[in-house]
Amino acid sequence: MAAIRLVCLAIVLVLGVGHALDFSKAKDVPVLVKTLKNLNRGPPQQVVTKRANVQEKWITQKLDNFDDSNTETYQMRYLINDEFQTDGSPIFIYLGGEWTIEQSMVSAGHWYDMAQEHKGVLVYTEHRYYGESIPTTTMSTENLQYLHVKQALADVAHFITTLKSENAQLANSKVVLAGGSYSATMVVWFKRLYPDLVVGGWASSAPLLAKVDFTEYKEVVGRAFLELGGQQCYNRIQNGIAELESLFANKRGAEARAMLRLCNSFDDQNDLDLWSLFGSISNVFSGIAQYQSGNDINDYCDYLLSFRDDATAIANLVYWAWGVPSCIDATYASTVEYYLWGVENFDAGRPWYYQTCNEYGWYQSSGSRNQPFGTKFPATLYTTLCGDVFNSRYGNEYISNNVAQTNVDFGGMEPGVENVYMTHGALDPWNPMGHGVAEGATLIANASHCSDFGSIRSTDSAEMRASKEKLAELMREWLA
Ligand SMILES: *[C@@H]1O[C@H](CO)[C@@H](O)[C@H](O)[C@H]1NC(C)=O
């Protein structure tokens, strides 16, 4: 039994790592970048049971939607599935976020099922600067000035008006939006800025409040391990990380370095290196919690508890999660170097990191005492990285002002929108930045991040099913 579990776990880990390695053929990816990428990948792909005729198309967009004197343009990609299209079909747009768009989201799942019910046209728009919708020749900080959610929302508005004006069958169609994670945030903010263009929206796991030091995130990660994995597992994580911290603090760094298989370049006297290491370790657990389903957490906990001591268990889990390299590169310098390499080598890591520095923060720090991942990854790690990777003007004050401005622009927890259905997993670490039950959102027990896009199915919990049915009912009202 244990052997079977371990084989399954190995498959899960290898698949996870394989995903990260897709981006990295040409370059080693430092573990901090690797874990951050894993946390910002797109929503889970849907299981496609029948081949849909998804077409890839392109639309010309303005490089700067807010400067009439700038006539430069770029090509934005979108996917369209018009198998149900007829006169007046509603348009079901799934918004892309900080990832590459893919076909399954317009060929299967609950969004697809609702489109089928209403004879809708399914569209998946790609966000500027991600996937193949790249507006500039490099991702220099200068060029990234055109990367902003306001620009991306204006792209969507222009997309909707163009699609309707160029297609007689859709001239008077109603439009509904869906999104997950950051693109769910975009659904809410689109409804705020362009209320007349869409009749309704579905925002799954939408963070609404921008915040530099996002201390709550790791609390929920810890809670997921406690509630789904048990107290022993939680203690193992807490004690193992505390033990590693204390080895470094008590001149026993060499032991910790060997245990963690760190590369020689790691400097345990350098705070930024230590912070990068402990941030990366905690992010392995974040990834597991953010994407958990079924018995995942239990299996990981069984693995952790199969070792004789706490620190060895942590070291082995993270080594495995990072793809068993010859040595672990957790230095701050290689993280900086990797993001600078991204100026010329397009890679989703750099533009999203830029958006965090410029608009949101959302740095998942060790600032809360109410979590098991120790004390060694303050938000300062991430804000320092902003300055070193983009421009020295990205200091603490500048980032804080940007983040405050985002909340002024979009209303933070009070976006003031109607007809947007918000869902969250109760164990999704992002949920503290979004609406709770009191504000009208639906919290789905035990669920994680963006976990409700699948079709209604027998394995859904009662709450999951009820939420999907409620959305389908709202959709009937919006499209009536
Ligand atoms: C959540 O998961 C726990 C642990 O597996 C289980 O005991 C509980 O019944 C679940 N709750 C719901 C509402 O599914």
Task: Name residues whose C-beta falls within 8 Å of residue 459's C-beta, 6 or more positions apart in sequence.
Answer: none
Buried b (16+ CB within 10 A) or exposed e, 435-471: beeeeebbbbebbbbbbbbbbeeeebeebbbebbeeb
Q: Ligand 1 pocket: which of 299, 443, 446 to mutate (most atoms <8 Å of CB)?
A: 446
Say whether both 292 and 220 belong to one domain.
Answer: yes
Ligand 1 centroid–CA 425 distance in Å is: 13
Residue 412 maps to a domain: no
Residues constituting the chain: 480
Question: Which atom belonging to ligand 1 lies closest to the Cα atom of 227?
Answer: 4
Any ligand 1 atom below 6 A from CB of 220: no
17-31, 199-213, 316-330: the lowest-pLDDT one: 17-31
Report the alpha-carbon distance of residue 434 to residue 204 in Å, rounded: 10
Contact 140, 343 (CB under 8 A): yes
Residue 138 maps to a domain: yes
Confidence of residue 10 (pLDDT cuts 50, 70, 90): very low
Say whether both 225 and 374 belong to one domain.
Answer: yes
Residue 49 maps to a domain: no
Say whether both 286 and 301 belong to one domain.
Answer: yes
Task: For ligand 1, atom 9, name the residue with the nearest CA.
Answer: 446
Report the alpha-carbon distance of residue 251 to residue 248 in Å, rounded: 6
Contacts 24+ apart (CB under 8 A), 19-28: 20/323, 21/323, 23/347, 23/348, 23/349, 26/345, 27/338, 27/341, 27/345, 28/325, 28/329, 28/334
- Looking at residue 1, its pLDDT comes to 34
Report the alpha-carbon distance of residue 90 to residue 172 in Å, rounded: 9
Confidence of residue 450 (pLDDT cuts 50, 70, 90): very high
Of residues 48 and 448, more confidence is placed in: 448
Contact 138, 350 (CB under 8 A): no
User: The pTM is what?
Assistant: 0.93
Say whether both 422 and 401 belong to one domain.
Answer: no
- Looking at residue 348, its pLDDT comes to 65
Question: What is residue 244's DSSP assignment?
Answer: H
Confidence of residue 266 (pLDDT cuts 50, 70, 90): very high
**Which tokens go with 469?**
């049915």
DSSP 388-450: HHT-TT--HHHHHHHHHHHHHHH-TT----SSEEEEEETT-TTGGGS--GGGT-EEETT--TT
Question: Which range of residues forms the domain containing residue 27?
Answer: 2-42+212-405
Task: Name residues whose C-beta falls within 8 Å of residue 384's C-beta, 6 or more positions apart in sequence.
Answer: 272
The pLDDT of residue 59 is above 90: yes
Question: Which atom belonging to ligand 1 lies closest to the Cα atom of 446?
Answer: 1
- Looking at residue 137, its pLDDT comes to 96
Please name the residue ranges forming H helices in 322-395.
332-341, 349-355, 379-389
Say whether both 393 and 466 belong to one domain.
Answer: no
Residue 191 maps to a domain: yes
Residue 356's nearest CA partner among 2, 64, 39, 29 is 39
Report the alpha-carbon distance of residue 37 to residue 64 in Å, rounded: 27
Say whether both 330 and 451 belong to one domain.
Answer: no
Number of domains composing the chain:
2
Residue 93's nearest CA partner among 110, 111, 108 is 111
Instruction: Kindly tell me the burial class for residue 67, based on how many C-beta atoms sit within 10 Å of its own C-beta (0-12, 13-18, 19 or more).
Output: exposed
The pLDDT of residue 8 is above 70: no
Say whether both 276 and 376 belong to one domain.
Answer: yes
**Which tokens go with 283?**
């992010």
Find the helix or strand (DSSP H, E) in which 284 lies.
Answer: helix 271-290
Any ligand 1 atom below 6 A from CB of 445: yes
- Looking at residue 27, its pLDDT comes to 66
Domain boundary (405, 431, 461) is at 405
Supply the CATH number for residue 124's domain.
3.40.50.1820
Question: Which atom belonging to ligand 1 lies closest to the Cα atom of 445?
Answer: 13
Report the alpha-carbon distance of residue 359 to residue 407 in Å, rounded: 9
The pLDDT of residue 272 is above 60: yes
Residue 317's nearest CA partner among 330, 301, 332, 333 is 301
Residue 410 maps to a domain: no
- pLDDT mean over 34-41: 89
Contact 448, 294 (CB under 8 A): no
Say whether both 219 and 198 belong to one domain.
Answer: no
Say whether both 462 and 381 belong to one domain.
Answer: no
Ligand 1 centroid–CA 271 distance in Å is: 40
Ligand 1 centroid–CA 446 distance in Å is: 6
Question: What is residue 347's DSSP assignment?
Answer: -
Report the alpha-carbon distance of residue 260 to residue 246 in Å, rounded: 14
Say whether both 194 and 224 belong to one domain.
Answer: no
The pLDDT of residue 3 is above 80: no
Any ligand 1 atom below 6 A from CB of 446: yes
Any ligand 1 atom below 6 A from CB of 228: yes
Domain boundary (405, 427, 444) is at 405
Ligand 1 centroid–CA 292 distance in Å is: 13
- pLDDT mean over 426-446: 95
Say whether both 401 and 432 belong to one domain.
Answer: no
Domain boundary (383, 405, 427) is at 405
| Opening angle at CA 82, ends 80 and 86, nearest 5 | 145
Say whether both 162 and 73 belong to one domain.
Answer: yes
Q: In the chain, what are the helix, strand and coil shares in percent, each to the nearest 5?
A: 50, 10, 40
Any ligand 1 atom below 6 A from CB of 466: no
Residue 80 maps to a domain: yes
Segment 115-170, tens digit of pLDDT: 999 999 999 999 999 999 999 999 999 999 999 999 999 999 999 999 999 999 99
With a pLDDT cut of 90, the percent of the chain lying above it is: 89
Find the helix or strand (DSSP H, E) in which 285 lies.
Answer: helix 271-290
Confidence of residue 15 (pLDDT cuts 50, 70, 90): very low
Task: For ligand 1, atom 3, name the residue with the nearest CA.
Answer: 228
